[in-house]
Amino acid sequence: MARYLDEKSHAIVSDAVREAELHTSGEIVTVLADRSDGYSDIVLAWCALASFTVMSVFAVWPDVLVEKVDGLFGGWGTQWTTAEIVTLVLSLGVLTFGLMWLLLQSDRLRFLSIPGPVKSARARQAAIKHFKVGAERRTHGRTGVLLYLSMQEHRAEIIADESITEKVEADVWGEAMADMLVEIRQGEIGQGLAAGVRDVGAVLSQHFPRAGEDENELPDRLIEV
């Protein structure tokens, strides 16, 4: 797993969480992920599509390919049997499938091949999963918020507990997302997460001000997965 932040950057995020929670009873959890999914199903779909396409092309222009194979192996234009042609088609399909699978083992090519809506959906699913494990209903007033950043997908999510969603509309988090992404696009991942934390903290302080007996119920540290 790639690590994106050093100890100094981790401290920047943790300090931002600690400072934000001084003014709210809400609890903020930050998660930085290398990727939200392995996308093996998408890889297999591309491999199958490429294989099917090559076999379909052969079905449309079989004579062209047979001539190419004859020329490649120095044949005399012998008559191909049905079994030989079927074997050739299947071999081409398997070869294409394998080559495509090897190409998509490259992270760069793999993530270029993933449609944007799929990346967004998987990032959202991963954020919800982390939220359920690390924040949901783990605070006394159900006031947990998760900031999730997935580097390979270039996606960020903010997930809030039910007490917060009852009072805060989802589009309110837009400013936090915008401030976070401005820094991240400049390569300042730690500063970006800290900016998002400060904005989230400001929203929480309006709706869930800190009470005198409030305790820190969730860890302030950045979780890098």
Structure tokens at 56: 């379909």
Beta strand 144-150 with 27-33: parallel, antiparallel or unpaired?
parallel
pLDDT digits (tens, 9 = 90+) for 34-84: 999 999 999 999 999 999 998 888 777 767 676 666 665 555 556 666 777
d(CA 97, CA 51): 5
Bridge partners (DSSP) of residue 159 are: 146
Q: Which domains are seen in the chain, by residue range?
A: 7-37+115-224 (3.10.310.50), 40-112 (no CATH)
pLDDT digits (tens, 9 = 90+) for 171-222: 888 888 888 888 888 889 999 999 999 999 999 888 888 876 666 666 778 8
Return the closest-CA partner of residue 9 out of 213, 206, 139, 188: 188
Any idea how long the chain is?
225
Q: How far is CA 92 from CA 49, 65, 86, in A?
A: 13, 11, 10
